[in-house]
Amino acid sequence: MTDDTSPSGVSQRDPGAWQDAMMQRLQNPVADHVTQPSFAATRDDEQARATGSVESGAHGIPHPATTHTLYRALSMRPAQNGGKRLLAETGRAFVGNDLPRRLAEAGEQAHRPVSTGRRLLVVGARGGAGTTTTTVALARTFAALRQDRVGVASLDTDLGSIASRLGVAPDLAATDVLARLTSAADPEQSVSVFADVDGRVSAVTAGSKGDVELDLLMRTMSRIFPVTLVDGGRATAQPPRAGQPHGVLLVAPLGIQGASSARSLLEYWTAAGRPEHVRVVLVDRDRDRTVQARRETEALADFDVPVSVLPHDAHLRAGARVVHRLMAERTRVFLAELAAAALTDVLAAVDEPAGHKAP
């Protein structure tokens, strides 16, 4: 599960070569694939997947919504059009900014080797907080920055949402996956039993499974995937322990009401035994609100948890399939830094014994 090779095929034993390759890769993002075809080939492939004209692996089927013209258009909608991107690049040449440097540094941190699979649970402070969008965008980011596959599991009962954001309909329930893994000769190599989204992300819909079955599924995924992201849906007053995660992201809309919901949950969790590694992500749905987030972050300062703001992004806001290269540069920077920070959290976490139940 560990190796000395970067996503671009450069040995990490040569720090200079690794940093140069990572900088080139992150400044010129491509589609969510290991190989890097020409822009035209990548665009055609993305359009084919968005239209549902290709299947995503042996157990992935196109989501029904992907046949809709509007869905196809929104899936290919970039956060910045050509004019805005050119203007930003021109401004950078004269003024300069630190986004490329931050992107490269975060990418290097997110690419650290993982010897034992880690699980990151993403939950929402309220309905419609942006939990699924954050989960999928973060999965796309890990897939772009790492060489290995990323696992995604949905525990939300609204399975259509994550299927739409991934661009496919994962057609295997947790029970089927566990049965197939149990009968497989080598379960740790049985990636094919999961829905293959695009060759870099593998997904499963766990729904509302029992604790024992869910725990087994999560531990099994951790033996297969170095990083597994779990869409836990809406959080409750009980500390989030579904699948015994190594880290938790609490997602809330940027605004006083979103911060209030997050604060209430943190109060409940603290009283009942809050997980060790918790981060809050406030999702900016309105343009130019990110710079006005001081009130919201101050409202959560009492809990000693990191709070960050996912900036407004037209591609993510479109609500269709999430494509890493179509997100704005500042969004990719934020997600890369969040991925690096979350990986630091989950690597520091200690695995609980199998079958252990928190008080």
What pLDDT, in 10s, does the model give residues 286-332? 765 655 678 888 889 889 999 999 999 988 888 778 889 889 989 99
CA distance 2 to 15: 17
Q: What percentage of the chain exceeds 90 in pLDDT?
A: 26
Q: Are 196 and 58 in contact (CB under 8 A)?
A: yes
Find the helix packing angle between 174-183 and 211-224, rounded to 10°: 60
Residue 20 pLDDT class (50, 70, 90 cuts): low
pLDDT digits (tens, 9 = 90+) for 250-299: 999 998 899 999 999 999 999 998 888 999 999 998 765 655 678 888 88
Q: Which of 20-34, 54-68, 103-117, 265-279 has the highest mean pLDDT?
A: 265-279
Q: CATH number of the domain at 15-348, out of 3.40.50.10860, 3.40.50.10330, 3.40.50.300, 3.40.50.11890?
A: 3.40.50.300
Residue 47 clears pLDDT 70, i.e. is over it: no
CA distance 75 to 286: 20
pLDDT digits (tens, 9 = 90+) for 106-129: 888 888 988 889 999 999 998 888
CA distance 214 to 212: 5
Q: Are 265 and 249 in contact (CB under 8 A)?
A: no
Give ∠ CA 209-218-121 in degrees, rounded to 5. 90
Q: Are 137 and 251 in contact (CB under 8 A)?
A: no
312 closest CA partner among 325, 337, 330: 330
> Which amino acid is it at 240?
P
Residue 245 clears pLDDT 60, i.e. is over it: yes
How do the domains of the chain map onto residue ranges? Answer: 15-348
Q: Is 279 helix (H, G, I), strand (E, B) or coil?
A: strand
Q: Are 170 and 132 in contact (CB under 8 A)?
A: no
